[in-house]
Chain A
């Protein structure tokens, strides 16, 4: 009877890469979103100041 080869190490590596890549992408969206919101707040306050001065 033929035995099934043990390739579980490759399988684990595959799933780790998949979850890591998706996780990093989600993190990058979160961080970009956070930074853009900070920029937006700063720019809005600058715009308000400029309008007051005028």
Chain B
């Protein structure tokens, strides 16, 4: 059995602590928004999870390039971890957005450019795992996965930029928003504290989960190799 590094145990503890603090800041410390009420508090987790989700998809694309150049399976493990953890976080982003939209826009979902690109991005990465499941040869699987992650990675900057380039009802927190945007608000200093801490907290949690997932990938590879040895 693999022994767990002390640094990872420390990171686990730090992750739990920062998640607790981020929750406190979002639920208690930040003031209630006057127009939307308490539902606005999900915004801190919505942005935090979106941030790590999109960064993870870009990291997966970069590791896909690194794998194609080096053919080193460690890059493949990194890529799978980045996609899996990011898909999980981005799922939270979409669900939180939908929950927020119900009282703010009076609908759970609308085919707005931002919501559409976010849904497409999530579906692209769910399909990534379906693609990998269908390929038995590890090298071929890694190669196809790398090319797919590289192309899929384009969806992350598109999703980020779409509200800054097109007419959309999705509010922009930092930067200029479209005239059609609904549900926007200006942040007070306490809201900014909760916002930036949430970004920090989810970055730490993302790194922690990535590390665990990379180790799991290493173990999977070891088991696959042993299965081949034993069957020979």
Q: Which residues of A contact B (CB under 8 A)?
A: 2, 4-8, 10-11, 13-15, 17-18, 21-22, 25-26, 29, 32-33, 36-37, 39-41, 43-44, 46-47, 50
Known: A36-B216, A36-B219, A43-B230. A14 touches B37 (CB 8 A): no
Q: Are B220 and A43 in contact (CB under 8 A)?
A: no
* A-contact 0/1 string along B197-225, CB 8 Å cutoff: 00000000100010011011001101100
Q: How far is the CB of B222 from chain A (nearest CB, A)?
A: 6
A-chain residues with CB within 8 Å of residue B85 when the two chains form the complex: 25
Inter-chain CA distance A37–B3, complex, in Å, is 11
Total A-B Cβ pairs within 8 A: 100
Q: How far is the CB of B30 from chain A (nearest CB, A)?
A: 12
8 Å CB contact of A44 from B33, B100, B102, B226: B226
Q: Are B32 and A4 in contact (CB under 8 A)?
A: yes
Q: Please give me the residue from chain B that is nearest to A47 by CB atom.
A: B230
- Which label, helix, strand, loop or mixed, suits the secondary structure of the B interface? helix
Residue B96 CB within 8 A of the other chain? yes
Residue B1 CB within 8 A of the other chain? yes
Q: Please give me the residue from chain A that is nearest to B226 by CB atom.
A: A43
8 Å CB contact of A29 from B212, B223, B226: B212
- Given A14-B95, A46-B230, A47-B230, output 8 extra A-B contacts at Cβ < 8 Å: A7-B40, A10-B42, A14-B39, A17-B96, A21-B95, A40-B219, A41-B1, A43-B226
Q: Are A17 and B99 in contact (CB under 8 A)?
A: yes
Interface size on B, residues (CB 8 A): 42
A-chain residues with CB within 8 Å of residue B2 when the two chains form the complex: 37
Q: Which residues of B contact A (CB under 8 A)?
A: 1-2, 23, 27, 32-42, 45-46, 49, 85, 88, 91-92, 95-96, 99-100, 102-103, 205, 209, 212-213, 215-216, 219-220, 222-223, 226-227, 229-230
Q: Are A36 and B220 in contact (CB under 8 A)?
A: yes
Q: Are B219 and A18 in contact (CB under 8 A)?
A: no
A-chain residues with CB within 8 Å of residue B226 when the two chains form the complex: 40, 43-44, 47
8 Å CB contact of A33 from B40, B41, B216, B222: B216
Q: Are A7 and B92 in contact (CB under 8 A)?
A: no
Inter-chain CA distance A37–B223, complex, in Å, is 9
8 Å CB contact of B209 from A11, A25, A39: A25
List 12 contacting pairs A-B, 8 Å CB cutoff, sorted by A: A4-B35, A7-B36, A14-B100, A15-B42, A18-B92, A18-B96, A21-B91, A22-B92, A22-B205, A29-B212, A40-B1, A43-B230
Inter-chain CA distance A28–B49, complex, in Å, is 19
